[in-house]
């Protein structure tokens, strides 16, 4: 009974469908069987049937009763035609009807957001970057013109910029390879507030040698060399931040070619430190700060455009969107291919975007292909291009990973290769991205369904627009948004220099070293062994005995060079014995005497020491005794090859040939002034010692004003600097003393030649008079001659 009751209830639920013929054959058979044995249900069915028939009749009767109301069409027509003026209508579209569609609101809002962002950025940046504005101010500044002394304006180039908190931009303006100015430009007043003349030291072959020594001593460089790398180029780089101090710090950039790729490292010649090596930059190397800003802005723009295209493609369901979807897919594929190339520039966070672009393009292409019945060519093209883009992106990312891992290994030799923690975040991001894309593809119907439902669709499109605009604004403003996975601490793959101490590499920018044509005594070339290096020492030791010594004229000068192989492998000394050269101490290029180098190689067993004795008889090529003074005895350059790498260096000894009669040892406070063409130079003090001599001058350059103070700032450096050269003669022998060092003093400038022990030659004790001539003082006409009585 109970069972029957249940059956009846179930049957009752199905009776309407049964009458309407909307039951399955199985249900039908079941119902009919049941009806045969259940009078109650049969009665029920009859009642249902009657009601159903009556309802049909009632509805029809009621409908027939309703006569069509008149003039409805006229009302509709009026409203339809009043929908916007003819001007804004084209082929059935009108601005008003576009606006009424939620997807279009999104598009318009996105476009407005884009315009707002660009507008905002343009107004704040004032079209030009601060650096560019400062450069143009400096170019047209009369102060700069004056400081250039009529030199060609075309020779001025902006090397770099340093923006300080006060909105000042410091520009380094390079005139020649050894001369430069720095100009501080106040962007608010648009005036040049400070000009400092800077002496840029020449990059000598010795500097190059030292850079090579330091680099080849580094185990990471050694590994590159051991793998067949070749040092292809060493070029000077100058720490421009040190331009402020008036003396430029020298560095060098080492280029190592390995398997067709160029690795780079930077050597700080003063500190003897090597930075790098940096892996080969990608196709689109973003080495400068401004470039990377540009990149991020391009990414931001791409993001906005992407957002708009996606929203147009997915958010709308009309013919226009269908037409756009295919193109969108193709465009995204192209963008994806383009961005794939950026994978190499190691912007880990951006990988999601790179992959995402192609993946979204693919998704749109597939959706478009599926829903369209007509022209499918663009959709197919989109799918094909996006698929290629995805493959290309993945390939690039894998290559970038490999390069990164290799770089990591070289950068930290102690850690075995493997995934470093810096890659966890980007890896997670990539995983999340892949999962999201997978889910998006899998549930695309549901996603598209979201867009179909009125309110949800509106909400979704507005939210998406907001997200796109916020993300774009964030990228635009903060750039580094993508650098979620922090780049390795030491060198970013493209070594973006810190803004406060940018480094100029010689070949790309401006300062190109010429072969040394004139002596450059300041700073004196260093003969000291390289300063302690952070890396393990090279696998050999070297020494020159004595490093510095004093002799009388005619004495034999004995110098011994020793090289010891401290490694466990044999080494080869190339072209042994090396050339030996004698030069004046301040002028390495003036070879007074030399011996030819050998042509053989000399193998050094592990632990072996090779010595080379040399005796100089104090004679020059002509066989004449050289005058007393400071000289260099230089060995080399010596090239040692070990394993697959080699290192070259030029060790040497500094010797002083003393005056037989002895040197004057005295100091004078002279305060002797000379005025030429209105410029007064005062020789304040002369210091003469057995080891050398120092000369101190003071002068007030024309147009020089006391450094301004204000804004609570400490007093600024002088607004002008000088380039001074001089020579002196004692007893008929004239000696070149090179360029002066300088200091500020009171309301003028202090010029110093010598300035330390043993730089300039000493003066004989029997000299009566010393004539010191300033041969060049900036570009002012004149010779300032001082006669110094020595008794």
Chain contacts with another protein (rule: CB under 8 A): 12-17, 20, 22, 47-48, 50-52, 54-66, 68-69, 72-73, 75-77, 79-81, 83, 89, 91-93, 97, 100-101, 317-320, 373
Residue 74 or 152: the one with the smaller Cβ distance to another protein is 74
Residue 80 or 568: the one with the smaller Cβ distance to another protein is 80
The C-alpha angle 759, 760, 764, rounded to 5 degrees, equals 135
Q: Whole-number minimum distance, CB 95 to another protein, in Å?
A: 13
Residue 20 or 154: the one with the smaller Cβ distance to another protein is 20
Helix-then-strand count for the chain, H and E: 17, 32
Residue 14 or 676: the one with the smaller Cβ distance to another protein is 14
Q: Whole-number minimum distance, CB 315 to another protein, in Å?
A: 12
**Which residues have C-beta within 8 Å of that of residue 646, sequence separation ≥ 6?**
216, 225, 574, 639, 640
Q: How far apart are the first and last CA of the chain?
A: 145
Q: Do residues 695 and 786 make contact, with C-beta atoms less than 8 angstroms apart? A: no
Residue 254 or 366: the one with the smaller Cβ distance to another protein is 366
Residue 12 or 524: the one with the smaller Cβ distance to another protein is 12
Q: Partners of 297 in the beta sheet?
A: none
For residue 268, what are its two tokens? 């700080």
Residue 93 or 284: the one with the smaller Cβ distance to another protein is 93
What CA–CA distance (Å, rounded) separates 173 from 154? 11
Three-state DSSP class for residue 320: helix
Encode burial over 314-352: b for 16+ CB neighbours within 10 A, e otherwise.
bbbeeeebbbbbbbbbbbbbbbbbbbbebbbbbbbbbbb
Element (H, E) at 385: helix 377-411
What CA–CA distance (Å, rounded) separates 49 from 43? 10
Which residue has tokens 């204000």? Answer: 710
What CA–CA distance (Å, rounded) separates 608 from 493? 40
Tell me the CA distances in angstroms from 634 to 389, 562, 609, 651, 732, one per residue in order.
59, 13, 19, 6, 28
For residue 313, what are its two tokens? 């493609």
Q: Whole-number minimum distance, CB 86 to another protein, in Å?
A: 12
Tell me the CA distances in angstroms from 443 to 363, 387, 457, 752, one per residue in order.
11, 19, 16, 79
Q: Whole-number minimum distance, CB 59 to another protein, in Å?
A: 4
Residue 27 or 257: the one with the smaller Cβ distance to another protein is 27
Residue 75 or 227: the one with the smaller Cβ distance to another protein is 75
Q: Whole-number minimum distance, CB 363 to another protein, in Å?
A: 20
Q: Whole-number minimum distance, CB 362 to another protein, in Å?
A: 23
Q: Do residues 722 and 740 make contact, with C-beta atoms less than 8 angstroms apart? A: yes
Q: Whole-number minimum distance, CB 1 to another protein, in Å?
A: 23
Task: Specify the DSSP class assigned to residue 486.
Answer: P
What CA–CA distance (Å, rounded) separates 334 from 362? 11
Three-state DSSP class for residue 37: coil
Residue 20 or 152: the one with the smaller Cβ distance to another protein is 20
Q: Whole-number minimum distance, CB 55 to another protein, in Å?
A: 5
Q: Whole-number minimum distance, CB 375 to another protein, in Å?
A: 13
| φ, ψ for residue 529, nearest 5 deg | -60, 155
What CA–CA distance (Å, rounded) separates 740 from 754? 8
Q: Do residues 450 and 457 make contact, with C-beta atoms less than 8 angstroms apart? A: yes
What CA–CA distance (Å, rounded) separates 328 from 308? 10
Element (H, E) at 483: none
- In angstroms and rounded to an integer, the radius of gyration of the C-alpha atoms of the chain is 42
Q: Whole-number minimum distance, CB 369 to another protein, in Å?
A: 14
Residue 372 or 602: the one with the smaller Cβ distance to another protein is 372
Q: Which of 158, 150, 143 is nearest to 708 (CA)?
A: 143
Residue 12 or 670: the one with the smaller Cβ distance to another protein is 12
What CA–CA distance (Å, rounded) separates 148 from 625? 44
Neighbours of 45 (CB within 10 A): 19
Residue 3 or 71: the one with the smaller Cβ distance to another protein is 71
Q: Whole-number minimum distance, CB 37 to another protein, in Å?
A: 22
Q: Whole-number minimum distance, CB 373 to another protein, in Å?
A: 5
Q: Whole-number minimum distance, CB 316 to another protein, in Å?
A: 9
Three-state DSSP class for residue 476: helix
277 upstream amide cis, omega within 30 of 0 = yes
Q: Whole-number minimum distance, CB 21 to another protein, in Å?
A: 9
Residue 225 or 312: the one with the smaller Cβ distance to another protein is 312
């Amino acid at each position: 009974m109970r069972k029957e009751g249940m059956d009846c209830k179930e049957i009752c639920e199905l009776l309407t469908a049964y009458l309407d013929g909307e039951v399955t054959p199985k249900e039908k058979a079941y119902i009919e069987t049941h009806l045969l044995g259940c009078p109650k249900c049969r009665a029920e069915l009859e009642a249902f049937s009657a009601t159903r028939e009556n309802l049909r009749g009632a509805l029809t009767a009621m409908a027939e009763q309703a006569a069509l109301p008149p003039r409805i069409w006229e009302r509709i027509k009026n409203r339809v035609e009043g929908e916007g003026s003819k001007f804004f209508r084209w082929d059935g579209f009108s601005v008003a009807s576009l606006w009424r569609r939620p997807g279009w609101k999104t598009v318009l809002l996105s476009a407005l957001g884009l315009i707002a962002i660009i507008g905002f950025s343009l107004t704040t940046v004032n079209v030009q970057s601060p650096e560019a504005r400062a450069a143009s101010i400096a170019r047209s500044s009369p102060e700069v013109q004056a400081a250039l002394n009529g030199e060609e304006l075309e020779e001025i180039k902006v090397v770099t910029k340093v923006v300080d908190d006060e909105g000042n931009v410091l520009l380094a303006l390079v005139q020649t390879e050894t001369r430069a100015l720095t100009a501080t430009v106040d962007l608010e007043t648009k005036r040049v507030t400070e000009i400092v003349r800077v002496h840029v030291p020449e990059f000598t072959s010795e500097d190059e040698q030292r850079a090579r020594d330091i680099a080849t001593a580094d185990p990471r460089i050694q590994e590159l060399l051991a793998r067949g790398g070749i040092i292809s180029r060493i070029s000077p780089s100058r720490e421009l931040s040190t331009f402020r101090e008036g003396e430029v710090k020298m560095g060098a950039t080492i280029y190592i070619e390995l398997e067709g790729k160029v690795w780079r490292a930077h050597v700080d010649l003063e500190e003897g430190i090597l930075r790098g090596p940096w892996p080969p930059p990608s196709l689109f190397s973003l080495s400068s700060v401004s470039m990377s800003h540009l990149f991020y802005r391009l990414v931001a723009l791409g993001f906005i455009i992407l957002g708009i295209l996606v929203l147009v493609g997915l958010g709308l369901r009309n013919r226009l969107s269908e037409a756009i979807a295919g193109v969108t897919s193709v465009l995204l594929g192209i963008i994806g291919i383009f961005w794939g190339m950026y994978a190499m520039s190691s912007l880990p966070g951006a990988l999601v975007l790179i992959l995402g672009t192609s993946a979204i393009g693919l998704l749109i292409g597939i959706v478009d292909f599926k829903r369209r019945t007509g022209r499918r060519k663009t959709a197919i093209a989109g799918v094909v291009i996006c698929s290629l883009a995805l493959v290309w992106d993945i390939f690039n990312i894998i290559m970038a990973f490999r390069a990164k891992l290799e770089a990591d290994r070289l950068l930290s030799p102690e850690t075995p290769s493997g995934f470093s923690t810096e890659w966890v975040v980007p890896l997670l991001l990539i995983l999340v991205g892949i999962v999201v894309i997978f889910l998006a593809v899998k549930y695309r119907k549901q996603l598209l369904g979201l867009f179909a439902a009125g309110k949800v669709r509106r909400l979704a499109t507005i939210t998406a627009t907001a997200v796109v605009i916020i993300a774009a604004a964030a990228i635009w403003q903060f750039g580094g948004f993508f650098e979620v996975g922090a780049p390795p601490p030491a060198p970013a793959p493209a070594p973006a220099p810190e803004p406060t101490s940018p480094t100029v590499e010689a070949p790309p920018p401006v300062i190109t070293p010429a072969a040394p044509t004139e002596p450059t005594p300041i700073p004196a070339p260093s003969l000291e062994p390289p300063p302690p290096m952070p890396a393990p020492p090279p696998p050999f030791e070297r020494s020159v005995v004595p490093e510095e010594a004093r002799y009388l004229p005619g004495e034999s000068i004995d110098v011994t060079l020793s090289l010891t192989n401290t490694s466990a492998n044999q080494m080869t000394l190339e072209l042994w014995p090396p050339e030996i050269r004698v030069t004046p101490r301040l002028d390495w290029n003036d070879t007074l005497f030399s011996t030819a180098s050998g042509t053989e190689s000399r193998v050094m067993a592990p632990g072996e020491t090779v010595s080379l004795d040399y005796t100089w008889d104090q004679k020059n090529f002509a066989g004449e005794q050289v005058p007393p003074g400071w000289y260099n005895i230089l060995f080399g350059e010596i090239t040692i090859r070990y394993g697959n790498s080699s290192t070259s260096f030029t060790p040497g000894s500094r010797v002083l040939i003393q005056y037989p009669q002895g040197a004057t040892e005295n100091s004078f406070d002279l305060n002797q002034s000379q005025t030429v063409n209105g410029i007064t130079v005062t020789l304040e003090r002369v210091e003469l010692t057995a080891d050398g001599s120092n000369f101190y001058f003071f002068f007030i350059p024309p147009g020089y004003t006391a450094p301004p103070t204000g804004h609570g700032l400490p007093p600024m450096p002088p607004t002008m600097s000088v380039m001074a050269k001089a020579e002196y003669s004692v007893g008929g022998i004239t000696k070149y003393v090179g360029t002066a060092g300088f200091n500020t003093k009171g309301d003028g400038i202090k010029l110093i030649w010598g300035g330390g022990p043993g730089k300039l030659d000493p003066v004989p004790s029997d000299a009566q008079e010393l004539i010191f001539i300033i041969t060049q003082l900036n570009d002012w006409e004149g010779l300032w001659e001082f006669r110094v009585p020595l008794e």
